[in-house]
Amino acid sequence: MPTVPVLVVEDRSEIRQALIGLLEHAGYSPRGASSCAEARELVGQLRFKVILLDLKLPDGSGLDFCAELRTLAPQSAVVIISGDSAVMEEDQLGGCQAIGFLSKPFSYAQLDTMLRRVLDQGHGAESRPRS
């Protein structure tokens, strides 16, 4: 069974590595990026079903990059991960068409529920990881 490719865009190394480890253990195929530039490069090379995107990145706004992803990776479902729950308001997301939001800190159960919901909505449902 093919695995679901997931990109984790998070500047804090300990959070990025923890998410990558959780995703690998759950059967996903994660990659990590610490900046918009790194993520842009990976998106240019690989097709991701899901992109977990932090909003505060060292080289730009996650919201601006999210809007850019509509062109760079239209096949990818974007899930915003942020410690700022105020961005959950739709009018604050601007051109970012994120499919979901996880407020940090979040649990593995919340992450798993969000990913399964995204996949069940047709974003990579044919290549769901093992349970």
Q: What is the pLDDT of residues 37-66, one digit of tens each?
A: 999 999 999 999 999 999 999 999 998 999
CATH of the domain spanning 5-106, picked from 3.40.50.20, 3.40.50.2300, 3.30.420.10, 3.30.9.10: 3.40.50.2300
Average pLDDT over residues 22-37: 96
The confidence score (pLDDT) of residue 125 equals: 39
Cα–Cα distances in Å, from 10 out to 31, 80, 117? 11, 10, 21
Region label for 51, one of left (φ > 0), alpha (ψ between -120 and 50) or beta (otherwise): beta
The confidence score (pLDDT) of residue 87 equals: 57
Is the pLDDT confidence value at 15 over 50? yes
The confidence score (pLDDT) of residue 25 equals: 93
Average pLDDT over residues 21-25: 95
Q: What is the pLDDT of residues 70-127, one digit of tens each?
A: 999 999 999 999 887 665 555 556 667 888 889 889 999 999 999 999 998 876 433 3
The confidence score (pLDDT) of residue 92 equals: 58
Contact residues for 21 (Cβ-Cβ < 8 A; gap 6+): none
Domains of the chain, residue spans: 5-106
Measured CA to CA, the distance from residue 28 to residue 60 in angstroms comes to 27
